[in-house]
Amino acid sequence: MTDAYGDSTRCVHAGLPPAEPGQPFLPGPVFASTFPLDPATGPVPGVDSYGRPDSATRRRLESAIGELEGGECLAFASGMAAVSAALLALVGTSDEIVLPRDGYYKTRAWAAQALSSRGITVTLAPTAGPYPDFAGVRLVLLETPANPGLDVCDIAAIAEAAHAVGTLVAVDNTTATPLGQTPLALGADLVVASGTKALAGHSDLLLGYVASRDAEIVSALRSWRDSTGAIPGNFDAWLAHRSLATLDLRLARQSENAAAVASMLATHPAVRSVRWPGLTGDPSYVVASKQMRRVPGVVTFELASADEVARFLTASKLVVAATSFGGPHTTADRRAQWGDDAPEGLVRLSCGIEDSADLIVDITVALAHLKTDGNT
């Protein structure tokens, strides 16, 4: 596929083999860990021999995601498997890295435990900046939009500054997905992401991936993955590939719902603050408008307390209390309960694909159960 096609066309056809009469559009998953070898020559390049490094099902998924991200893709067992592989394979002892202070908290927690003990200096910087001098830094990891605060940074500007002093740039593209932005085209050296979220989009599998246009980076990560075995199962890979066909449709409805929900929340008296980069008054609106093709369906807002969040979720009929995001059902997640450095009443709302009007009515009624200005 080429960029001349629209998003839905690319998603429907990405990674598929040529259509053949009597065969499915997407061949079923290959359930094999061991394949027969030629008794005389043994393993042959290009022919599957063992399931950890070789899988036709996984290669088709990687081809599909690679087409959307604009680089070569390697699939991993989860988003954290992809992030940790990228950092451990590309960063060495005595190196310095920069991580987002306001990004996914598990990345920071893991880095503090696993990387610092290896002599790697971990510096934290807010997504919206300011950033430290990149001189001497081996790699900077951006997460934009950041999860859960939804700040956005200028990938191209940061990549230019980093590359001027030899620093690698990685971008966590989980929240945006490749239909929201393509970091490799903006100058990033590699993309990492959790496909568990909106990419696969059905809340039924775990997946991560790395994509890059740099052959040396891909080779280093492939070697790391093949040695450590952090691969997704073939059925999960097949499910994710099947789900890509509806990615554009799902994201369009989720973004539409987020726009409606964010606008309503922005004027509600029970809501202390709202973040969604698609709102004209949002601090990230200008950068997001320039950089992103589509703002994702995640809205972050703050209520007065953890108790108010609980009452809101209990009263709602459509918003389900659940972590993760990007699925077909609208869910809400109070971030502080996971140990995230967030206010007690901060809610990450993941808009599903329900009808916008139904969501607005449901959320409005649920918020009416909260006390505002001393009244019920």
Residue 70: count of CB within 10 angstroms of its CB: 17
Among 176, 228, 231, residue whose Cα is nearest residue 199: 176
CB 270 within 8 A of CB 373: no
In this prediction, residue 2 carries a pLDDT of 63
Name the residue among 146, 156, 150, 151 with its Cα closest to residue 108.
Answer: 146
> Are 85 and 221 contacting, i.e. CB atoms less than 8 angstroms apart?
yes
Q: Tell me the per-residue pLDDT of 209-234, one tens digit each, with 9 for 90 and over.
A: 999 999 999 999 999 999 999 999 99
Q: Is the pLDDT of residue 372 over 80?
A: no
Helix (H), strand (E) at residue 314: helix 306-315
For 132-157, how does the pLDDT look when each residue is reduced to its tens digit (9 = 90+)? 999 999 999 999 999 999 999 999 99
Residue 108 confidence class, pLDDT cut points 50, 70, 90: very high
Report the pLDDT value the prediction gives residue 376, as an integer from 0 to 100.
Answer: 40
Find where tokens 């990387």 sit.
115
CA distance 273 to 239: 37
Q: What are phi and psi of 228, to 5 degrees?
A: -90, -20
Task: List, for residues 113-124, the tens digit of each pLDDT value.
Answer: 999 899 999 999
Identify the pLDDT of residue 124: 97
Which sequence spans correspond to the domains of the chain?
7-244, 248-367
Integer Cα distance of 271 and 262 in angstroms = 11
Here the tokens at position 173 are: 């593209």
Name the CATH architecture for the domain at 7-244: 3-Layer(aba) Sandwich (3.40)
**Mean pLDDT, all residues of the chain:** 95
**CATH number for the domain formed by residue range(s) 248-367:** 3.90.1150.10
Angle at 36 between CA 30 and CA 37, to 5 degrees: 130
pLDDT over 80 (residue 374)? no
Range with the lowest mean pLDDT among 117-126, 275-284, 339-348, 367-376?
367-376
β-strand pairing of 208-212 with 298-302? unpaired
Is residue 170 within 8 Å of 154, Cβ to Cβ? no
Task: Give the per-residue pLDDT at 1.
Answer: 63
- pTM (2 decimals)? 0.95
pLDDT category, 340, cuts 50, 70, 90?
confident
What angle in degrees, to the nearest 10, is found between the helix axes of 247-265 and 356-367?
40
Average pLDDT of span 51-55:
90
